[in-house]
Amino acid sequence: MNQDFDSDDSHSTDDPPQERRRYFGLEQAVFILLVVLSLTGIAITEFNPHDGYGYWLFMVIVFGMLSIFVSWLQTRTNDNDFGDIVKAQGLHWLHTLVVVIAAALLNKSEQLSDRSASLVILLILALATMLDGIRIGWQYSLLGFFLATCALIVAYFENFMPISIGLGVLVTACTFLWEYWRSKYATDDEN
């Protein structure tokens, strides 16, 4: 585990509660956006597998950029150096992109079908997101598990969209409930 970064996603308790809530709100908005973009990619993969793997390739860049944004938000409430974080995040997502491009090349050489390439890229993105959660926080790890579970759902269920959407709603609701519980617990400790 990289010790250069604060793996605790709960911002410093010295921050005013409004500032913590505002950053949580932005982080939660990014999380919801990534869940929605993921569900969109799953739907695209179903209707046009060729476009699906291109979409997932593009999503690696989107996930990387949004993770850097979330890291920037977190540096505003802790002592981590944003330059170090950008370097680590950039390398992490660049390496992910290289492996995803390799999967796309396997598709081009007809070693993988379009649908298989989409699922492989989705699993690579899931792993990269889970591992990024070590630096950014538990929500990214949860998002990675969501992506991996969706890949399995797509593989095993014919009517996978309702199941994937239900899982997305459940995962999003859990993050709200967890934050509510944490803020309530923190408020009780202050009294």
pTM above 0.85, yes or no: no
- Burial, 42: exposed, middle or buried (Cβ in 10 Å; 0-12, 13-18, 19+)? buried
Q: Is residue 186 predicted with pLDDT exceeding 70?
A: no
Tens digits of residue pLDDT in 128-179 = 999 999 888 888 999 999 999 999 999 999 899 999 999 999 999 988 888 7
Query: Angle, nearest 10°, between helix axes 49-75 and 17-47?
Result: 170
Average pLDDT over residues 116-127: 91
Q: Residue 19: which residues within 8 A CB-CB, separation 6 or more?
A: 11, 77
How many residues are there in the chain?
A: 191
Tens digits of residue pLDDT in 41-82 = 999 988 887 788 788 889 999 999 999 898 888 877 777 778
Tokens of 103: 């999967």
Between 113 and 36, the higher pLDDT residue: 36
Is residue 4 very low, low, confident or very high in pLDDT (cuts 50, 70, 90)?
A: very low
- Burial, 2: exposed, middle or buried (Cβ in 10 Å; 0-12, 13-18, 19+)? exposed
Between 18 and 178, the higher pLDDT residue: 178
